[in-house]
Structure 1
Amino acid sequence: MNEIKSLADQLREKLRTGEMDKSPPPAKEKKITDPPAAGVPKKPPKVSDRHQKADAFFAAIEAFRPELSEKSMIRVDARTLHLLKRMKLAKGVDMNRFIVYALHQYLGQHPWLAEHIQETLKNSAP
């Protein structure tokens, strides 16, 4: 029973011992394909690209340290709440942290908004 190893166990063992470096990479067969016709939509991004972007996004959220000293009850639609709950289950990202992170990002991309609100308050005060 001790001699049975899964493929993953075998690969881990090879990586530890360095056997993977000694073997030559497998030869790739070249396929002859026709060039894409004009007007053909582009392929969606590779899964690995999406994973890299998602990993970078969630790493940025984890690195974000908001000062959560104030409480505010916000209302969201059912679809958004469902997404936030799934994100909590999938990645362990707190809903409040995500919302505050998204708001900080939005305000960082639109600095004129905070200034506009400040000017509007100054001008409307008696």
Structure 2
Amino acid sequence: MATAILIAGCSRDPVAAPAANAVFNEVDVAAQELTRTEDEALAGDLRAAAQLQATYFKTDEEQYLHWLEIGAENGDPVSQYNFAFELWAHGEASEQNQIRSKFWLGRAASAGDREAAAVLGRLNDGKEW
């Protein structure tokens, strides 16, 4: 005769068990989707990079900046402008960050971003952002 062992925190309730499995499956699917989106962004997909930026914008600054840089490297003018802003805002005392910021503004301006061109002009004239 089989003996049932009930583990603390586990339910033998036939309704609760599938619900718990559904939560684990959703987490699994979310993790797989995140990995797929990261792979797409790293392969040059602008939409995927933007999606990751939005995902991390308010929750994880380091990840946000990472995917912002990836979007900039992938050629997205909005990411280029925003990454330039972040470099400038976080590195006012750092000459290297200012140089990198101007580089990304130049890339965005070359892609047709008029605001990037205007900001770059102001910064080159020694004015504020």
Asked which structure has the greater CA Rg, the reply is 1
TM-score by length of 1: 0.26
The one of the two structures with greater contact order (alpha-carbon pairs below 8 A, sep at least 6) is 1
TM-score by length of 2: 0.26
